[in-house]
Structure 1
């Protein structure tokens, strides 16, 4: 007669508990990301929203917003600390985080092209000097 803690053929009733495997997603980026914690603004037609730059790479960045919103395909990211406007393309979006591919970059100090006037005004309202 089998032991009460064992099932048929002397095997245990339950499979032994497995420890969760520590799996990492393979890195798909060719360039390393640098952690960042920079205050920024998202500027687009009819959009001006505060965000946080979470990390950066030579060609892009990841930002985090306060809430999940759908952004237009092209936005301007205003890095408040660096007084820079970065034209960017939305590559992916998941919840409150958005991946951006960086384009042209311009300083917001002094005169700016007319296409960056809204970005400069937003930077000034955020305390830029």
Structure 2
């Protein structure tokens, strides 16, 4: 699996993603499982795996099963991880927002569309609101 690396040059991409009501930032699978309660309900979240940030779509299908689909960056485009090695069937997008908009109108591999966004709560801090300064050393 190729994980996403958004560097300093990708700041506009970070801001675009963080501006979306359906993007929750870093949240665990356990945290979001109680938020997604109906078929087609979805959110995007970040997870830290082996020092890389991976973006995941958490969505409930028509059978009321919760799925967590990774989004990968391959050949300069964003796509679903489950489709990465599918060749022509793997549709790629310039941005994650374009990918989400596509799957609002077209079914995911789990046979559902993204229907209802689970919005980020106001108390959840966005990544762009956090900045780190120099490390403080204690002797």
Greater relative contact order (Cα 8 A, min sep 6): structure 1 or 2? 2
Greater fraction helix: 2
- Which protein is bigger by CA-based radius of gyration? 1
TM-score w.r.t. the length of structure 1 is: 0.27
